[in-house]
């Protein structure tokens, strides 16, 4: 039987550590860490994610500043809000929920966020820092994935890691983190040939394709560790619906360890967002004391 990696429990423990650190920051500076969350439009999935992020902030003692803007918002208005948040000393982290409505250039918006407040780790400065191994804020989902992997793997050197999906949010940054640990990393995508054969060579699979139950049992080598980043609501024949990941988890008994969906990567992503906000608050207080 594969071990189930309990992301929910790990996220709870990380959030408790973050809450301890928040208390320390308040004791030292008198100001709690603050996270600004910007939601443009009303994408239903984004509404749910943003709601969860704000609720978890509250649990950890982080102040959240919610900014909701209509889908018709002009890009210039969003830029103006970001400029205001960049300048606000009570705001240590800024998160603009993606995807943005059509007509707004997401890259230009992300470029405008101060790299020091970029708790998503999407600014080109932080992307560059990650790819050169020179610090910076690291994207939350990849950070959470590495913590989940660290709970079952001590030494990554020479392990074959196959990342399925080349997104800027997950695939590319997690491949950089695995490379940093000296795994041999293969990044695959929709055009990859013979993907099951490539996956079968992996000691570690990170499935982040957004394709429900793509990874079947025969894709996975016995003893591999599988991280399932997918989260898709599917409707059954009887009309009922459920959430499934990118892996056919019931076929993975021969894996060493797998993450469940839900309850694996998702909770860790939010816990890492809180941890990044505290890190950004520490960076801000260090620079104001310098």
Active site residues: 53, 97, 120
Structure tokens belonging to residue 277: 């906000």
Q: Under 8 Å CB-to-CB from 221, ≥6 apart: which residues?
A: 200, 201, 202, 203
Q: Shortest Cβ distance from residue 28 to ligand GUN (Å)? A: 29
Q: Shortest Cβ distance from residue 194 to ligand GUN (Å)? A: 29
Q: Shortest Cβ distance from residue 273 to ligand GUN (Å)? A: 8
Quote helix, strand, coil % in the chain, to nearest 5: 45, 15, 40
Q: Shortest Cβ distance from residue 122 to ligand GUN (Å)? A: 7
Q: Shortest Cβ distance from residue 229 to ligand GUN (Å)? A: 10
Residue 152's φ and ψ, nearest 5 degrees, are -125, -10
SS3 per-residue string spanning 161-215: EEEECCCCCCHHHHHHHHHHCCCEEEEECCCCCCHHHHHHCCCEEEECCCCCCCE
Distance separating the N- and C-terminal Cα atoms of the chain: 53
> Residue 148, exposed/middle/buried by CB under 10 A (0-12, 13-18, 19+)?
buried
Residue with tokens 């609501």: 233
Q: 135: phi > 0 → left, psi -120 to 50 → alpha, else beta; which?
A: left
- Give me the residues that bind ligand GUN (CB under 6 A), please: 95-98, 120, 140-141, 169
Decide: 265 and 248 in contact? Cβ < 8 Å: no
Q: Which residue is nearest to ligand GUN (CB)?
A: 98
Q: Under 8 Å CB-to-CB from 249, ≥6 apart: which residues?
A: 228, 258, 260, 261
Radius of gyration of the chain (CA): 19
Q: Shortest Cβ distance from residue 159 to ligand GUN (Å)? A: 26
Residue 15's φ and ψ, nearest 5 degrees, are -65, -35
Of 26 and 55, CB closest to ligand GUN: 55
């Amino acid at each position: 039987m594969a071990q189930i990696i309990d992301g929910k429990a790990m996220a709870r423990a990380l959030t408790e550590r973050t809450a301890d650190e928040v208390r320390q920051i308040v004791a030292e500076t008198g100001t709690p860490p603050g996270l600004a969350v910007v939601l443009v439009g009303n994408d239903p999935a984004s509404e749910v994610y943003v709601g969860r992020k704000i609720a978890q902030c509250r649990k950890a003692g982080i102040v959240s500043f919610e900014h909701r803007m209509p889908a018709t918002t002009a890009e210039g208005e969003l830029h103006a809000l970001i400029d205001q948040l960049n300048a606000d000393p009570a705001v240590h982290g800024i998160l603009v929920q993606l995807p943005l409505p059509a007509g707004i250039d997401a890259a230009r918006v992300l470029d405008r966020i101060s790299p020091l407040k970029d708790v998503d780790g999407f600014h080109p400065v932080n992307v560059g820092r990650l790819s050169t191994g020179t610090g910076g804020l690291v994207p939350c989902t990849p950070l959470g994935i590495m913590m989940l992997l660290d709970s079952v793997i001590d030494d990554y050197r020479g392990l074959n890691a196959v990342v399925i999906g080349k997104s800027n949010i997950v695939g590319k940054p997690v491949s950089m983190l695995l490379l940093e640990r000296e795994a041999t990393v293969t990044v695959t995508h929709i055009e990859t040939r013979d993907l099951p054969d490539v996956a079968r060579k992996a000691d570690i699979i990170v499935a982040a394709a957004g394709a429900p139950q793509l990874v079947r049992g025969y894709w996975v080598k016995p003893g591999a560790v599988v991280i399932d980043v997918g989260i898709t609501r599917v409707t059954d024949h009887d009309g009922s619906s459920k959430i499934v990941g990118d892996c056919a988890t019931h076929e993975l008994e021969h894996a060493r360890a797998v993450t469940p969906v839900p309850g694996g990567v998702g909770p860790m992503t939010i816990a890492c967002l809180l941890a990044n906000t505290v890190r950004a608050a520490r960076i801000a207080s260090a620079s104001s004391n310098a």
